Amino acid sequence: MADNRNRRTALWLLAVVPLMLAGSFAAVPLYRLFCQVTGYGGTTSVAEAPASEVLDQTIRVRFDANTAPDMPWEFRPIDRTMEVRLGETALAFYEAYNPTDEPIAGAASYNVAPYAAGAYFDKIACFCFEMQVLEPGERVEMPVSFFVDPAMLEDTEGRYVHDITLSYTMHRSELPEADTALGLTENAKVASGPVPDGPERQ
């Protein structure tokens, strides 16, 4: 009897552990989706179209930029502040510069403060939606198009928000395979030096 119980317990554990592991991996994208929908933790929302109405009431948006410890890029907002009307589609730019002698890929994480504004800060397009690759010495301006949803005035906490800070942190990412191969090819050319000319024909 004890052997049968032990066998059943072992089979039950073998069935449950993979489910628990799968659940832990699924929790990450589900949590991210939850944050984007609710604005929890200052996560911004993503909009497919501009706001349906624009109000006269304005709000100040501040822009902030940081880099992770392993990211050598220089990264900053071009405009530090912007005054926008609620519902108005605005366009801001961030600048990134790669001061190194190698191509580097980066991806930006982001949030807004105060957290109460997260669900109402809607991005239409943003450089943060995809990885960015900068070549050695390359400097780029990267846009973010957004609006602040007028529905924030109906929120018990959001109605008292007059300043919003949009903050990005740029993280180093692995280069796509094509860019890695290109970088290796260019380095090989530099290392090998110029190809000498053949003997002149008499």
The tens digit of pLDDT for each residue in 26-80 reads: 333 433 344 444 444 445 678 878 888 999 999 999 999 999 999 999 999 999 9
Which of 12-21, 62-71, 113-122 is predicted with the least confidence, judged by mean pLDDT? 12-21
Confidence bin at 185 (pLDDT 50/70/90): very low
The CATH homologous superfamily for domain 41-175 is: Ctag/Cox11 (2.60.370.10)
Q: Please state the three-class secondary structure of 48-108 as a single string.
A: CCCCCCCCCCEEEEEEEEEECCCCCCEEEECCCEEEEECCCCEEEEEEEECCCCCCEEEEE
198 pLDDT exceeds 50?
no
Q: What was the pLDDT predicted at 87?
A: 96
Question: Per residue in 97-114, pLDDT tens?
Answer: 999 999 999 999 999 999
- Return the number of other C-beta atoms located less than 10 Å from residue 175's C-beta: 17
Q: What average pLDDT does the segment 180-186 reach?
A: 47
Could you tell me the pTM of the whole model? 0.68
Instruction: Kindly list the domain boundaries of the chain, sorted by start residue.
Output: 1-38, 41-175
